[in-house]
Amino acid sequence: MLKRLLLTGAGGGLGKMARQRLGHLAETLRVSDIADIGPAGPNEECVQCDLGDARAVELLVEGCDGIVHLGGQSVEDKFSVIANANIHGVFHLYEAARKKGCKRIFFASSNHVIGLYTQDQHLDHTAPPRPDTLYGVSKHFAEGLAQMYHHRFGIETALVRIGSCFPKPVDRRMLATWLSPDDFVSLVERVFAVPRLGCPVIYGVSDNDDCWWDNSHVSYLGWRPKDNSAVYRDEVYAKAPPPAKDAPEAYYQGGLFVVEPIREE
Ligand code: NAI
């Protein structure tokens, strides 16, 4: 069991669920967000912190032996917003981890690192990145940063390219990208249980019948996702007619992100 697990982004959609379900992994769960997320529950500490503030992040990481890093800008925005949370912020986090001796991180990367591949392409961890947005590029930056901190300083990171982690899939694309909350939790459990993690890219996706991504290189984690989006297929199909074959949401892995405008400031 970890002594103190830091959960960033605890005020977000995924963070709220993780806060409820990851407490068993550590004696103390330190939950953090730029937003107010207090008060602390049993065995919890709450710290309000902007990831863009290097000194605050150093204090945030102090005393933690594991981090689940969900905090940051989670959709496309202007570059300054992306840069503060996802570029400066992730640098501050790894610097703090190096200085304070934290050795293992679960990093919420994204399918938008490979969003410009088409939906008929089958990818594993060796596929060169094809980010679809500034957001996707920022996640690719973080993956590179994590690799450097792994090879130079021995910090291990699970680079989890999350597909779509929601209670259930709500559109056709999500039939291939869905990661169930239960499978998310079991992945975090394995990441902190294995004796040697390394710094692997892991596709954060359930055991869906529709499948674009191959995780066979991380079988050593012993992670066996159990849920399958196929049970929601009829429900999803009933909601909306199929998009045109060449519509971005039917053509690219990143869906509608690929047509987001570039916002400078
Ligand atoms: P979210 O937007 O609901 O939560 C992100 C949290 O980060 C928010 O509570 C926000 O206040 C916090 N945050 C933003 N800027 C910050 C800053 N400068 N300092 C500190 N905290 C800051 O996003 P969600 O859906 O919970 O996603 C969590 C993580 O997983 C994100 O990093 C996202 O990019 C990643 N992800 C999520 C997917 C999903 O399906 N939910 C898919 C792919 C990646």
**What pLDDT score does 3 carry?**
98
Confidence band, pLDDT 50/70/90 cuts, at residue 55: very high
Q: What is the mean pLDDT of residues 178-205?
A: 98
Give per-residue pLDDT as tens, 1-18: 999 999 999 999 999 999
Q: At a CB cut-off of 8 Å and minimum separation 6, what does 240 contact?
A: 171, 172
**What pLDDT score does 217 carry?**
98
Count CB-CB contacts under 10 A for residue 150. Answer: 19
Confidence band, pLDDT 50/70/90 cuts, at residue 145: very high
Contact 25, 66 (CB under 8 A): yes
Q: Is 13 in the pocket of ligand 1 (CB under 6 A)?
A: yes
One of 3.30.70.590, 1.10.940.10, 3.40.50.720, 3.90.1170.20 is the CATH number of 2-259, namely: 3.40.50.720
Q: Is 82 in the pocket of ligand 1 (CB under 6 A)?
A: no
State the Cα–Cα distance between residues 191 and 199, nearest whole angstrom.
11
Q: At a CB cut-off of 8 Å and minimum separation 6, what does 231 contact?
A: none
Q: How close is the Cα of 71 to the center of ligand 1, in Å?
A: 5
Q: Is 11 in the pocket of ligand 1 (CB under 6 A)?
A: yes
Give per-residue pLDDT as tens, 101-143: 999 999 999 999 999 999 999 999 999 999 999 999 999 999 9
Q: What is the mean pLDDT of residues 170-194?
A: 98
Confidence band, pLDDT 50/70/90 cuts, at residue 218: very high
Closest CA to 11 of 35, 40, 39: 35
237 part of the active site: no
Closest ligand 1 atom to 51 CA: 19
- Residue 211 exposed, middle or buried by CB count within 10 Å (0-12, 13-18, 19+): middle
- ipTM associated with this complex: 0.99
**What pLDDT score does 240 carry?**
79
Catalytic annotation, pick one of 135, 149, 203, 252? 135
Count CB-CB contacts under 10 A for residue 259. Answer: 13
Contact 210, 176 (CB under 8 A): yes
User: DSSP 3-state assignment of 46?
Assistant: strand
Q: How close is the Cα of 262 to the center of ligand 1, in Å?
A: 20
Q: Is 136 in the pocket of ligand 1 (CB under 6 A)?
A: no
Count CB-CB contacts under 10 A for residue 41. Answer: 13
The better pLDDT of the pair 63, 264 is held by 63
Determine if the pTM surpasses 0.90.
Answer: yes
Percent of the chain with pLDDT over 70: 100
- Starting at the edge strand found earlier in the chain, the sheet holding 44-48 runs 44-48, 26-33, 2-8, 66-69, 104-110, 156-162, 201-204
Mutation choice for ligand 1 from 32, 47, 70, 110, CB with most ligand atoms inside 8 A: 70
User: DSSP 3-state assignment of 69?
Assistant: strand
* Residue 265 reports pLDDT greater than 80: no
Q: How close is the Cα of 9 to the center of ligand 1, in Å?
A: 6
**What pLDDT score does 241 carry?**
84
Q: Is 110 in the pocket of ligand 1 (CB under 6 A)?
A: yes
Contact 75, 108 (CB under 8 A): no
Q: Is 204 in the pocket of ligand 1 (CB under 6 A)?
A: no
